[in-house]
Structure 1
Amino acid sequence: MNANPLTLFWEGFTVEPYAQIAPQVLLIRLRPGEDCHPCCSGCQQHCTAVHDTTIRRVRERDLFQYRVWLEVPVRRVRCVTCGPKLEQIRWLSGRQRLTAGMVSWVESLVRLMPVQHVARLLGLNWHTVKAIDHHRLAREVVEPDRSQIRRLIMDEFALFKGHRYATVVINADTQQVLWVGEGNSRQAIRPFFEWLGPEACAQIEAVAMDMNTAMDLEVQHHCAQARVVYDLFHVVAKFGREVIDRVRVDQSNQLRHDKPARKVVKRSRWLLLRNRDNLKAEQAVKLEELLQANQPLMTVYLLKDQLKELWYAPSEAEARRRWEEWLELAMSSGLAPVQQFARRFKGYVEGIIASATYRMNTSVLEGMNNKIKVIKRMAYGYRDNDYFFLKIKAAFPGKAR
């Protein structure tokens, strides 16, 4: 038995009796074990003939405050099957400059810390750490079973500042991220359906999304039988921006000569847009006073509440009845922003009625978007989207059905 316990760390090699120690650096020299024949990295056969030997300096895991480097004599063997070939070293794959133990240590740290922090901590290049993590993700991210996908949720998130977006698609039943791609146009999301394939596309029953015409048209093109389900949150938010805000501004402009009243209306945006259940007691009182004093604001606020009821209908027939009732009220309101919204809304109503059958929404993705923002912050700006998108897939592997 070799007396030096360090030999246990590097299979097939023994440690030279003297190690060079410099400030913060420990250099350990290895030599091939006398009783260990080199193994061909191609066919894994043991070889006795050595073609040549080169000394490679590689990085090992740190020891206390020391950076540990190894000087490893790497042999090229004369394999009768493969010809001249590098020997196989189990703890040093290929032409790596890091040992398997060091790579494993980097993989463990990068799960918990930003890439930049790990690079600084270990004294490695950012690209080296990123490449290690990229290989880990490619190895660990599981390819979804496309034959089991029936319902999808599609949404977009901000990729960078300046209105650059990416689209994410998840399996509504398992909440696994299936695909992430840059852009939110038809051309940008088409690769997802090409990846899904005609057979899997034919099995899709429903797709939840916001009122994005590009997504809608692409779904109808590839999954003609699928029902599009529009998300409650996005539609109500759109009503708030295009109708309630417009009416509020118009009412504020009409009160130019009544500055106190104009000030109240002008500052009422969040009171009108927030759900009544989320208001504090004093805010609820202010809202009630505002609505009682301003009939147009009262009208659009009640229409907003009634619009939500479309998503809670027990059947598609009831949803359609509620829609017709809401449309009649909107068109008879006398408010141009409401009427304009109702006319445009007619083209999307089938996607709302479908929610009575398919209880789906993008709220799951809204929660995911918060975690995606954390991933972006930890990255300090990923240098390529493939890596970033792999990080997203790894963060949402899905759950068992």
Structure 2
Amino acid sequence: MQDNNLGLPFWEGFLASDLERKNGATWITLVPDPRAPLVCSGCDSNCWQIHETGWRVVRDMPMLGDPVWLRVRLRRVRCSECGTRAERVKWLDRHARVTQRLAEFVGLWCQKLPVAHVCKLSGLHWDTVRRIERTNLAAQIAALPDAQPTRLVMDEFALYKGHRYATVVLDADTRRVLWVGEGRSREALRPFFEWLGPERCRAIEAVAMDMNTAFDLEVKEHCPQAHVVYDLFHVVAKYGREVIDRVRVDEANRLKHDLPMRKVVKRARWLLLRNRANIPAEKLASLDELLAANQTLSTVYIMKAALKELWSAQGAWQWRTAWQTWLRMANESGVEPLQKFARKLKPYWRGIVARVRWPMHTGQLEGINNRIKVMKRMAYGYRDSEFFFLKIKAAFPGNP
């Protein structure tokens, strides 16, 4: 179908000279508008000489449900400043095979939908959509201001099945995800400090984390002046696994001749691990009866509450008194798993008392990790970790 050189605003500088529909697609031929200035893509100056012309086929937004292909006549100009360069086309990036508005459309929907769904919506191939999204994500991250963190939060999340993890580092003040890397070892975390650089490492004052020795050692090597702050949630969770759960199993085994009581103890796992404030009212009586009937379980349950109080101390001396009392009670309890846990916890006392001066925790990252899991489920997983990590950093750019 021939047209009388129709100019449209979304193809600025070009005229539609031909339109035809074949094989379920719309093909439009675009030629340069002789009234539009010829601009060098290198220096944006007007040019007057054309070196050569050629054709490029690009995709544009679908029209009435059909894909749209553009045959565009492009020119190379002779610029007095840059030499031979391609002309500047406002709606088409250099070497691009899709228009800017289609790329923006894909980038917008990739923030809300999985790549496979965006492919169906735009009619583009999976690799093309992912390449566009990767470019957009990199541009978003590059546009962010330089990070100048003074307090950090570190945590991990499951990347794949089979105990494969990734580490996330958050700026505690701006809530910006600064870095994501595969693994949770010292070697996995080291690239973050190399990216941060010696000057910014010296500005770090405190780092909140769980009781991960690898994190601890790497922070001390690169930021020796920083205070390590151990998170209450992870310490109490570790206490639940290594003390309460162990004692519950041992007590159930000891009660093998008292089957009714053994059954009660075996089924009380979540009742013992949950905070008392979160236990339904109808279950509290069962908990109190269990603790009254079993002295050992009662001891470790009370010691858990006392352990949590260490994070509520208002001053260093109050904390020191509470800490020494807890250690003495643990050592005198006669409960072997509790005594073993106290011995393991003792070398970490500096990271616990640091909470008095630096009231930090990894709760900020726990919420972010939950959103990361949602992102992973929506996409049915990601084919490469680097792309996934770009999405995470772009999704959490921090507060302005």
Does the alignment reach a TM-score above 0.5?
yes
**Matches of 1:224 and 1:14 in 2, distance apart?**
64
Paired residue for 1:84? 84
For 1:54 and 1:145, the matched residues in 2 are separated by: 41
Shift of 1:392: 1.0
Q: 1:82 to 1:201 in 2, by over 3 A?
A: closer
Residue 93 (structure 1) shift:
1.4
Equivalent position of 2:132 in the other structure: 132
Q: Deviations over 1:378-399 (max 9, x none)?
A: 2332222222112111211112
Residues 6 and 16 in structure 2, CA contact (< 8 A), matched pair in contact too:
no
Cα distance in 2 for partners of 1:54, 1:365 equals 52
Q: 1:36 to 1:145 in 2, by over 3 A?
A: closer
SS in structure 2 at match of 1:228: strand
Alignment-mate amino acid for residue 72 of structure 1: V
Aligned to 2:378: 378
Q: Deviations over 1:328-365 (max 9, x none)?
A: 11111111101111111111111111111111110111
Alignment partner, residue 224 of structure 2:
224
Matched, 1:392 2:392: yes
Q: Where do 1:80-119 residues align within 5 Å?
A: 80-119=80-119
CA deviation digits over 1:291-311, x for unaligned, max 9? 011110000000001100000
Aligned length: 397
Aligned to 2:9: 8
Distance (Å, rounded) in 2 between the aligned partners of 1:164 and 1:112: 26
Kindly provide the amino acid, as one letter, of the partner of residue 373 in structure 2.
Answer: K
- 5 Å matches for 1:261-300? 261-300=261-300
Displacement of 1:136: 1.2
1:256 Cα deviation after fit: 0.8
Whether contact under 8 Å (2:39, 2:46) holds in the other structure is yes
C-alpha distance after superposition, 1:265-284 (max 9, x if no partner):
01110000000111111211
Partner of 1:354: 354
Query: Which residue of the partner structure matches residue 260 of structure 1?
Result: 260
Stretch of structure 1 that moved more, 38-47 or 189-198: 38-47
CA contact (8 A) 1:170 1:178 kept: yes
* Distance apart, 1:36 and its partner CA: 3.0
2:200 counterpart of 1:196: no
Q: CA deviation at 1:144?
A: 4.9
Q: SS at 2:47's partner residue?
A: coil
2: distance between equivalents of 1:323 and 1:13?
Answer: 76
How many angstroms does 1:156 deviate by? 0.8
Within a 5 Å distance, the mapping from 1:140-151 to structure 2 comes to 140-141=140-141, 142-147=143-148, 149-151=149-151
SS in structure 2 at match of 1:93: coil
User: Where does residue 120 of structure 1 map in the other structure?
Assistant: 120
Uncovered stretches (5+) of structure 2, i.e. residues with no partner = none
TM-superposed CA distance for 1:61, in Å, is 0.8
Displacement of 1:103: 1.1
Structure 1 counterpart SS, 2:38: coil
Q: 1:76 offset after TM fit, Å?
A: 2.4
Residue 72 of structure 1 aligns with which residue?
72
| Mapped contact 1:310–1:319 kept (Cα < 8 A) | yes
Cα distance between partner residues in 2 of 1:380 and 1:192: 28
Instruction: Answer whether contact 1:314 1:356 (CA < 8 A) is retained.
Output: yes
Match of 2:62 in 1: 62
Once the two structures are superposed, residues 107-138 of structure 1 have per-residue CA deviations (whole angstroms, 9 ceiling, x without a partner) of: 12112211111012212111211111111111
Q: Secondary structure at the match of 2:46?
A: coil
- The answer as to whether partners of 2:144 and 2:397 remain within 8 angstroms in 1 is no
Structure 1's 307 and 254: CA in aligned 2 closer, same or farther, altered over 3 A?
Answer: same
Aligned to 1:160: 160
Q: Is the 8 A contact 1:144 1:178 kept in 2?
A: no
Q: Structure 1 stretch 95-104 or stretch 75-84: which is displaced more?
A: 75-84
Identify unmatched segments of 5+ residues in structure 1. Answer: none
- Corresponding position of 2:314: 314
What amino acid is the match of 2:139? R
Partner of 1:72: helix, strand, or coil?
A: strand
Distance 1:193 1:111 in 2: 29
Matches of 2:393 and 2:45, distance apart in 1: 39
TM-score, normalised on structure 2? 0.95
C-alpha contact (below 8 Å) 2:158/2:166 kept by paired residues: yes
With 57-66 and 359-368 compared, the bigger mean Cα shift is at 57-66
CA contact (8 A) 1:24 1:65 kept: no
RMSD (CA atoms): 1.8
**Partner residue of 1:174?**
174
The offset of 1:245, in angstroms, is 0.7
Distance 1:209 1:117 in 2: 37
SS at match of 1:51: strand
SS in 1 for 2:218: helix
Q: How many Å separate the matches in 2 of 1:172 and 1:205?
A: 11
CA contact (8 A) 2:247 2:296 kept: yes
Cα deviation digits, residues 27-69 of structure 1 (max 9, x gap): 1112222223533323333334333322222111112222111
Matched with 2:33 is: 33
